[in-house]
Amino acid sequence: MKRDDLPPPIEGLDARIRRARDARDDTKSTGQQSTGLAWAARLTTEMFAALVVGGGLGWLVDRWLGTRPWFMLVFLLIGCAAGMLNAYRAARRFESRADDGVI
């Protein structure tokens, strides 16, 4: 009763599914290049936003106390550090979740 056009018997099915799944997983990183752009935009905005908040906060404190430009200078530096921290945290999260590199 053996026919040639039938697929291989059920015993090998597990192995075949596993092989197919492995082959599929290899193609998983094809989206990486396009998400790289979003990723770059993400890091820049993180740094930029902290700098703006730092500078703005310093400017407000200066206007309130009339000490222009000292607080703004100090807060710009702190904002710079905060921006680095933001970018670092985002990058670390990116590293730990290499499987879907969107965020």
The reply to whether 62 sits near other proteins by the rule CB under 8 A is: no
Q: Which residue, 20 or 103, is less far from other proteins as judged by CB?
A: 103
Q: Which residues contact 75 (CB under 8 A, 6 or more apart)?
A: 54, 55, 57, 58, 61
Nearest distance, CB of residue 53 and other proteins, angstroms: 4
20 vs 77, beta carbon nearer other proteins: 77
Select from 28, 36, 48, 70 the one that contacts other proteins (CB under 8 A): 48
Whether the Cβ atoms of residue 49 and residue 83 lie closer than 8 Å to each other? yes
Query: Judged by CB under 8 A, does residue 42 bind other proteins?
Result: yes
Longest dimension (CA), the chain: 97
60 binds other proteins (CB under 8 A): no
Round to whole Å and give the CA distance between 61 and 68.
Answer: 9
User: Is residue 47 a contact partner of residue 87, using CB atoms and an 8 Å limit?
Assistant: yes
Q: Which residues bind other proteins (CB under 8 A)?
A: 34-35, 37-38, 41-42, 45-46, 48-50, 52-54, 57, 75, 78-79, 81-83, 85-86, 89, 93, 102-103
